[in-house]
Structures are given as structure tokens and as C-alpha cells.
Structure 1
Amino acid sequence: MTGHGGGRAERRSGGPGPLPRPRPDQHLPFGGPSWAIRATGSYLPGDGVPSAEVSESLGLDPGWIESRTGIRRRHVAAPAEAASDLAAAAADRALRAAGLDAADVGLIVLGTSTPDVIAPSTACRVQAMLGARRAAAFDISAACTGFVFGLQTAVGWLATQRGSAPYALVVGVEVYSRFLNRADRATAALFGDGAAAAVVGPVPPPYGFGPITLGSDGAGADDVLIPAGGSRAPASADTLAGLGHTIHMDGRAVRDFIAEIFPRLVGDAADAAGLKPADLDLVVPHQPNPRLVASLAGGAGLDPAQLAIAGQDVGNIGAASIPYALDRAVRDDRIGPGDLVLLAGFGAGLTWGHTLITWPPT
């Protein structure tokens, strides 16, 4: 991979040496420490369902899904598993990776479009399952951008709290399998179940998050949605018969949105930091269609090797997509101290967000 200062591999080959210092405007304008992701964890249910099996169930050639999306398999939660179960498992793994226990957590913020119940929040159930009695807990509904929205919330909370436990858990989780029309190739081909989490805590400068930039466009709210089950269309015999409780997606509108927003997020983040896209060590995008996202790398000024793509093994897992790919990159040793790691999220709402992290030492 290319990267600032010659890339991680080149920096390591000459011994530890001084790590490159990022520009001052990459750090948040709060006093005291910076904040960064200290550890990650993920959880996938079951053994995985091959795309060939899903293709055949849709009456398609066995290779149809993989050839168009790059997705080889996805995971499906067991009948007794809900979003909170997956989320708690991922959060526990992240805490263990950080060398922390639940008593060290002051905040749990959870992004999901598929909560256990409409209310109360799934985050409260996760808090109880972890035994994180000191933590405030709530959900964020920002669809596939939920993890990035959650990071902004966690950083703001950590920077302003006094006397609370000094770490936050940001979790993304989806159990989309409960909300699919199995006959709809536009959605059944893409979505899977999974969870991933990150521990956010203090780090010394120059490491940490740069500005976390968020955006929304409610004019596109109907491009991807579950139309029934809320206050506008409460559950009824008619909504059940009309499959109103399943995901509806305008595939062309979503594809056009992704093709426009991903290069823009990369360019905006690089420009704000005074960098070129090629200077980034790793870019972790949301990946609803891994093949499509990878095809956009050149137009965003990136080499495909700069992307952390993991959706081929899980499909679109919504708010868990970015943290899952990030966890995979951490476990595969693709990230080292001082690396510039861009998270780029986009999803239903429409929503989007990005942040550039100067990765801290383990």
C-alpha cells in the first residue's frame, strides 16, 4: 500500500523510528487527550450461507450473485438470536482485545436498523448482558452510517463527561434476515447478519480522530426502507400481506448514490487534511456491494489495495459493515501505529459520514 511517509511497511522495515506527525487540523478542538479506537471485535452467527444457494433459491444461475456483487456468502442468525445477542458478543470481544472489563465502560452507543424491539433501545439490553452497570446506553438510527454517527457521539461524550468511566463502546449490528423478502433478488442477494464493535478511549497526541463529518438528505428516505411497523403504517393484516415489514430498495437510486458519495467522501476527507487520497494508508468503506465499491477506487484517486473490503464474506451487514471490515484489517495486521485510516460510511436516510484516524499504538 502507498501511504504518507512511505507507507507502514516501509516505516517498519527501518526499525521503530519516529512516527509521522499529522497536521494539527486532524485533531479535535477539545482540551486534554485525543480519542481513538483502542480495540475492535466482531461476531458472525452460524456457518455462512453460500451465494450459490441463495441464487438457486431465487431461480438464478448459481454464480449470479457472486458475479454481480462479489458476495460469496452471508451469515444468518439462529431463530433464538436477536440483535442484542450478536452485539453483546462483538462488544465482549472488543473489550477483551482492549484488556478492559465492563466496569471500564461509561457509554454504549449502538447503531442498528433491526433492533430487538421498537423500544426500549437494544443498547440497554446489551448493557445488561455485559454487566456494564456504569454505562449510559442508547441506540442510533442512521442505517449503514450508524457506526460513524456513533463515533461522533462517543467522542463528544468522552470529551465532556467528568467522573465517568473513561471508555465508550460503539457497536454496529444488524439481523437483516428477519426483514427480507426471500423472493426479491434486489435485497435477498445482498443482506446478511452480523455485529462488530469498537472501544473508544483516550490516546496521547498526535494520535486520534480527526474531525468526524456527518450529513443527511431526507429527500432520499424512501430509497431504502422498511415501510411498515412504525407510527405511519402500524402492523396490521394488510401490512403483513403486503410484505411491508421487509426491506424495500430502489436499486438504481442506491447505486447512483453510492457512485456519487463514496468518491466525494474520500476527496473531502483528504482535502480537509491537506492530503491526497494516495497518502491514505487504509480506507474502510461501507460495502453494500463489494464489487461496486471496489470499482469506484480509481475514480476516488485510490489504489484498490488501499481499500479494506470484507463484504465478500458477509454481504451487506449495515451498521456493522465498517467496524467488521476494520476488525478484519486489525486482525490481518493491515494497520500500524501512525497509519492514516479513513472510515467512509453511507446509507439509508440518506446518510453519510467520514473520519480520518491517526492510528494509535496498541
Structure 2
Amino acid sequence: MTIRAVVAGVGHYLPERLVSNADLEALVETSDEWIRTRSGIERRHFAAEGQTTSDMAIRAAQAALQDAGLTPDDLDAIILATSTADLTFPSAATMVQAGLGMTRGFAYDVQAVCAGFVFAMANANALILSGQARRVLVIGAETFSRLMDWSDRSTCVLFGDGAGALILEAAEGNGTTEDRGILSTDLNSDGRHRDILYVDGGVSTGTTGHLRMQGKEVFRHAVEKLAETAHAALAKVGLSGGDVDWIVPHQANIRIIEATAKRMQVPMDHVIVTVQDHGNTSAASIPLALSVGKARGQIKQGDLLVTEAIGGGLAWGSVVLRW
């Protein structure tokens, strides 16, 4: 008997405020064509004034619980991936725990920027395999619109806000790649590349700060490292790109998504793409894409998925799972 962390439910939440590329033309020197050709983004959602990361995370969590037919009392743990927690502390995850009315178990945040949800899934998988938890709510939620420097047109048009959630629960498998659930994970980081993607604020400066990015360098590392980590995770269980039903990538840039798929020899009609509608929502992008992919009827039970992401740190990784 093999224990697997199996997907029980998925859900997402997007703020009501929809911001098109045309809307941004009034705020910054840019154009719809410039944004589309460089990123594939057409629109994104921004949180309302006073709306926090934990607010959105709660809404996504409620959707996932409904999809799974579960209640907060059925959960053992919450792991929230975010770089934009409401406060320095306590963790946004504990705020979600309180907002759901969950009074048992434990909750904590994971911070690996855009790779955060992959790291959180690996954490949840480890908790389940070790017996520490039987059912874990994994959330990615971000309000990146509040980190933007609106005088920097190369970055401020790329990001959006939102939240996605996934519930993993322990189930018995046969120990083969036909099992449902997480089959393998691959996590990496390299702090030498900190300066190509970071926020210039924090407790050391006493400011929230703004996102700073060297776009060309991030692009180069992303294409190389995303394909490598996906291949590494697949190889751990004797699989390859040809076995994959869906790549569910971090939704940062359509050109990165296309280049990664090409390196994995997976056609684009087997890639879940939502970047045009959400922009880069950092740690929220993969669970958003999973939820939307299921709602569209693309992702079906038994499909083999690879999720991969890279973010500031640099931190990057992938998860192979059978839906």
C-alpha cells in the first residue's frame, strides 16, 4: 500500500475590478499592442480598496471546500503561499483559518514568490506522506497590484491579483504512476540571482517597497530552469513529456510558456493558459489555472499534470500529479 496526496477539490476567486490593457493606457505610457506582444496579457484583476490577500484566500478556500463537499472541520492544515501577506505577522494562513471558522489543526505561510504554490504543494505532500496531516488546504493568493511602481511601465502592466485553492487528502495507491495524486516533486533555489527579481522594501527599509525586475535575465533563467525542473520531476517516476496530458505552468508570460512547452515537446493545446485573463498573479497563478482548467472541462480525473513555476530568489520547482 502506498499513501498518495490526492486532489479532493479546487476553487478560485478573482476580485471584481477588471483592468484591461486599454485601462492601463490612461495610467502609464504603454499600449495594448505593447503589452500583448511582450506578455500575452489582455486583462487582469485588481483587489478593491481594503480587500486583502487573506480575504481573497478565504473566498478561494470556500470554493474549494464546496467543490470537495467538505467543511472546514474536515481540514487538518492550511498552507498559504504568498508574498503579499496582510501583515508582517501573524501569517495570512491563520487569518484564513479564522475566517473559515476552523478551530483545529494548524496553518502557516510559505514564501517562495511565484514558485510559492509549488513549494506549498510539496509541503502538503510531505505532511500527508508522513502522517502529520490527512487533509490539507493549499492556497496561493496575492495582491501584487500594491507592489507596483506605476512609473515603471516594464513591470506594472504585467501583474494582477487573485487566489486559488486546492485540497489534498490522503488516499491509498498501488505505488505506480497510474495512482491518482502527487507522484513527485522537484524544488530548487539559487540566492545568487536575488537582484534580477526582488522588492526593494521590507523591515530593513521600513517601507513596503516596489517590485524590481530585469526582464531579459528572468526570461532566460525561466525558460531554462522550468523545462529542467519539469523533466527532473518526471524522470523521478520514469515519465517524460510524452506522458503528460496537461502542463499547468506559472502564468507569467506567454513566450515563456510556449518556450517551456517546446523544450518539453508538449504541444500548446496540452497547456493550460490563463495569462491573457489574469496577468501574473505570482503564487496564485497555478491554482487559478488548475481551477479554471477544471471548470473549462479541460482537466479530467486521471489526467497526468505537470505544474512548474519560477520566482524571486531565484526559487523554482515542479510537481507531477495525476488528477
- Asked if structure 1 preserves the Cα contact closer than 8 Å seen for 2:184 and 2:237, the reply is no
Rounded to whole Å, the distance in 2 between the matches of 1:111 and 1:296 is 23
Q: Which amino acid aligns with 2:143?
A: V
Identify the residue that residue 160 of structure 2 maps to in structure 1: 192
- Asked if structure 2 preserves the Cα contact closer than 8 Å seen for 1:33 and 1:203, the reply is yes
Identify the residue that residue 85 of structure 2 maps to in structure 1: 115
Rounded to whole Å, the distance in 2 between the matches of 1:246 and 1:266 is 30
Q: Which amino acid aligns with 1:183?
A: S
Q: Give the Å deviation of 1:258.
A: 1.0
Are 1:70 and 2:40 counterparts? yes
Identify the residue that residue 328 of structure 1 maps to in structure 2: 292
Are 1:104 and 2:74 counterparts? yes
Identify the residue that residue 282 of structure 2 maps to in structure 1: 318
- Asked if structure 1 preserves the Cα contact closer than 8 Å seen for 2:29 and 2:153, the reply is no
Identify the residue that residue 215 of structure 1 maps to in structure 2: 188
SS in 2 for 1:60: coil
- Asked if structure 2 preserves the Cα contact closer than 8 Å seen for 1:55 and 1:189, the reply is no
Q: Give the Å deviation of 1:129.
A: 0.2
Identify the residue that residue 124 of structure 1 maps to in structure 2: 94
After superposition, the Cα gap between the structure-2 partners of 1:150 and 1:61, relative to the gap in structure 1 and judged at 3 Å, is closer
Q: Give the Å deviation of 1:115.
A: 0.6
- Asked if structure 2 preserves the Cα contact closer than 8 Å seen for 1:55 and 1:64, the reply is no
- Structure 1 gaps of 5+ residues are 1-30, 236-243
Rounded to whole Å, the distance in 2 between the matches of 1:72 and 1:337 is 30
- Asked if structure 1 preserves the Cα contact closer than 8 Å seen for 2:21 and 2:31, the reply is no
Identify the residue that residue 298 of structure 1 maps to in structure 2: 262
Q: Percent identity?
A: 35
Asked which structure has the greater CA Rg, the reply is 1
SS in 1 for 2:141: strand
SS in 1 for 2:247: strand
Q: Which amino acid aligns with 2:189?
A: S
Rounded to whole Å, the distance in 2 between the matches of 1:304 and 1:225 is 30
Q: Give the Å deviation of 1:56.
A: 4.3
Are 1:276 and 2:240 counterparts? yes
SS in 1 for 2:49: coil
- Structure 2 gaps of 5+ residues are 174-178
Q: Give the Å deviation of 1:268.
A: 2.1
Q: Name the TM-score, length of structure 2 as normaliser.
A: 0.94
Stretch deviating more after TM superposition (57-66 or 120-129): 57-66
1:234 corresponds to which of 196, 200, 206: 206
Rounded to whole Å, the distance in 1 between the matches of 2:260 and 2:181 is 27
SS in 1 for 2:318: strand
Q: Give the Å deviation of 1:32.
A: 5.0
Matches within 5 A, 1:167-182: 167-182=135-150
- Asked if structure 1 preserves the Cα contact closer than 8 Å seen for 2:186 and 2:232, the reply is no
Identify the residue that residue 18 of structure 2 maps to in structure 1: 48
Stretch deviating more after TM superposition (326-335 or 57-66): 57-66
- Asked if structure 1 preserves the Cα contact closer than 8 Å seen for 2:17 and 2:48, the reply is no
Q: Give the Å deviation of 1:327.
A: 0.8
Count of residue pairs brought into register by the alignment: 318
- Asked if structure 2 preserves the Cα contact closer than 8 Å seen for 1:53 and 1:62, the reply is no
